[in-house]
Amino acid sequence: MGDPLDKARVPQATVPRLARYLRVLHRLERDGVAKVSSQELAEKLDANAAQIRKDFSYFGEFGVRGVGYEVSFLIAELSRCLGLDHQWNVVICGAGKLGQALARYRGFREEGYELVGVFDSSSHVVGTPIDELSVRPEKELAQFIRENSVHIAVITVPAEAAQGVAEKVIEAGVRGILNFAPVKLAPVDGVFVRQVDLSTELMVVSFYLAQDRD
Amino acid sequence: MGDPLDKARVPQATVPRLARYLRVLHRLERDGVAKVSSQELAEKLDANAAQIRKDFSYFGEFGVRGVGYEVSFLIAELSRCLGLDHQWNVVICGAGKLGQALARYRGFREEGYELVGVFDSSSHVVGTPIDELSVRPEKELAQFIRENSVHIAVITVPAEAAQGVAEKVIEAGVRGILNFAPVKLAPVDGVFVRQVDLSTELMVVSFYLAQDRD
């Protein structure tokens, strides 16, 4: 049931919420829960039930009013939608503190994502062991991407190096970039770039603190 | 001009966008630009002009059709709105790789945010120098928060330790938390928690890559 998903219709702000729903649904499934209402999900997520229903509506009408959603079906649909039914080979470019933290971050090794390489241009950092990997020299990056079908590059180099690294990985075949460098990368057709700006997150906090103060 | 801002009306998804607008506006001001249209902003941000106009509409009607927005006025309004006209004292709880990376991240030392302390429970990490600070023992955290008027705590401890640290900082007076630990903190009235989930960002990338594949 449900119409086939037209992803072009899904607003970008919805996507991170889908990931959060999925996480809660996995927890419910582990706890043996088979059905869940949008209200129950809203309570677990500290979110709004109407928003959840709206987000799910992009997947077609698979919730039955008063009965709720089938957990396993929602998990399957959301996983497929988020591309988790596929293996994504990921490299991290830049093995400074942030790159190394991400390389070890358990969330980056969730189902579907395979960290296959970590690269750095500094000879002081090359060879540093990170779990079962060790940091490789950046000059091997392009060839490595081609030989290992790398889909996603996480960029954690300094701002001034980010554009150069992005061009290199795109040229080698990467189609998705998660950019932590505080600089906007030049857009390239067919390449999706998600900019993560950690200081923006602090501003979200101070926005709400300033609200109380006003 | 413009009605006083009612922050309760501003949707949470809008706030990170305001931070991004502000960053671009600062760049325009440095370049000597006095007025900007929503279309020009949209091009610089790779965003949608209608969305920008809608976001700005929460601040009242201060754009004039065909003339655009006054850059310095927008900067002042957005800065005030995001709480950047205030000094926020920030501590980082957890000086592992991620905590140390954030402590050195230039975005975390932007206008308004003052990193005043970094804490860890491990005696191996306590004393590690981070720029002009050095990592302090976690047992001093509560007293430090009280004595230094700390407003915001960034939590970068492991998942299992996060709730305990959150309770400690809230008890000591913190009212804003940026939580990088992959666990939902129990909500507390009057305390704003922003959850940052780095693996969610990867899912946003694979969502769009999977779209091309479908």
Q: Quickly count: other Cβ atoms within 10 Å of residue B76's Cβ.
A: 14
Q: ipTM value of the model?
A: 0.84
Q: How many domains does chain A have?
A: 2
Q: Evaluate whether residue B204 is within a structural domain.
A: no
3-state secondary structure chain B: CCCCCCHHHCCCCHHHHHHHHHHHHHHHHHCCCCEECHHHHHHHHCCCHHHHHHHHHCCCCCCECCCEEEHHHHHHHHHHHCCCCCCEEEEEECCCHHHHHHHHCHHHHCCCEEEEEEEECCCCCCCCEECCEECEEHHHHHHHHHHCCCCEEEECCCHHHHHHHHHHHHHCCCCEEEECCCCCCCCCCCCEEEECCHHHHHHHHHHHHHHHHC
Chain segment A9-23, per-residue pLDDT in tens? 677 778 888 888 898
Q: Which residues in chain B are closer than 8 Å to A128, comparing Cβ atoms?
A: none
Last residue within a domain, chosen from B32, B58, B80: B80
Q: Which of the listed residues B80, B108, B142 is the one where a domain comes to its end?
A: B80
Among candidates A151, A194, A206 on the partner chain, residue whose Cβ is nearest the Cβ of B82: A206
**Predicted pLDDT of residue A2:** 39
Of A2, B176, A58, nearest in space to A21 by CA: A58
pLDDT value of position B81: 86
Which CATH number does the domain housing residue A117 bear? 3.40.50.720
For residue A176, give the nearest of B45, B86, B209 by CB distance: B209
Residues A57 and A116 in one domain: no
What stretch of H or E contains A192?
A: strand A192-195
pLDDT at A105 over 70: yes
pLDDT at B212: 65
In a domain, B206, yes or no: no
Indicate whether A108 and A134 sit together in one domain: yes
Of A26, A54, A80, which one is at a domain's C-terminal end?
A80
Same domain, A157 and A67: no
Q: Over the stretch A26-83, which tens digit does the pLDDT of each residue have? A: 889 999 999 998 888 888 876 788 888 888 887 665 556 667 888 998 899 888 888 8
Cβ of A211 within 8 Å of Cβ of B176? The answer is no
d(CA A84, CA A19): 10
Tell me what pLDDT residue A49 has: 84
**Same domain for A112 and A194:** yes
Domain that holds residue A169: 88-199
> Mind listing the pLDDT tens digit for each residue in A180-194?
988 889 989 999 999
Per-residue pLDDT tens over the stretch B163-187: 999 999 999 999 999 999 888 899 8
DSSP helix/strand/coil, A92: strand
Q: Give dist(CA A153, CA A170) in Å, integer.
A: 9
Q: What H or E segment, with its residue span, contains residue A88?
A: strand A88-93
CATH of residue B58's domain is: 1.10.10.10
pLDDT at B1 (0 to 100): 36
CB-CB under 8 Å, B184 with A7: no
Interchain CB distance below 8 Å, A82 and B206: yes
Contact criterion met (CB below 8 Å) for A53 and A66: no
Structure-model confidence comparison of residues B79 and B142, the more confident one? B142
